[in-house]
Amino acid sequence: MPLEIERKFLVKSDAWRDQATHSERLRDGLVARQDGLKVRVRCYGNRTTLCVKSGRRGLSREEFEYDIPRDHAEAIFAHCEGRILEKTRHYVPGESGIWEVDVYHEALEGTIIAEIELPTETTVVKLPDWIGEEVTGDPRYSKANMLTERLRAAKVRELRRACLASQ
């Protein structure tokens, strides 16, 4: 079974930016999520994929990712309304491997999370000085939960504005 073993961290400074070797824009659509299992569609560069991830067990989870035709991906995105994220992923080499620093746009503007994939759960990770709090496994930092919270907050702000305008 293909395993994804990763740790996630908040980013506390922009010191990583000068170290990034390249970047790419990604668009993710959450197709479904239930009991820790999620299905995602992604477009980046010339590649489009469908990915199924199991619930996390420790730092690991099963990950099945398949290339799909772009027109299929676009058709699937049409079913992801309100569950689409856009981000720029920056690749930053470090002593422990390549860090993927995701700078979110639109609904999650201002959110920056760094991830590092590991060969084993016991791999020791040397943290660069720009890395902040670890959020691996923290449900507040799952993409789906972050998006749900931001959309909820936006609706509350919209309702408050409507109430104030009607007074």
Confidence (pTM): 0.89
Q: What is the pLDDT of residue 159?
A: 76
Residue 87 contacts residue 104 (beta carbons within 8 Å): yes
In this prediction, residue 54 has a pLDDT band, given cuts at 50, 70 and 90, of very high
Q: Summarize pLDDT for 114-161 with one digit per residue, the tens.
A: 999 999 999 999 999 999 999 998 988 888 788 888 777 777 777 777
Q: Cα angle vertex 20, ends 142, 5, to 5°? A: 40
In this prediction, residue 60 has a pLDDT band, given cuts at 50, 70 and 90, of very high
Phi, psi dihedral angles at 149 (to 5 degrees) = -65, -45
H/E element, 102: strand 97-104
Ordered structural domains, the chain, with CATH: 3-166 (2.40.320.10)
Nearest to 11 by CA among 151, 147, 117, 141: 141
Q: What is the pLDDT of residue 58?
A: 86
Question: Quick one: how far is CA 109 from the chain centroid?
Answer: 12
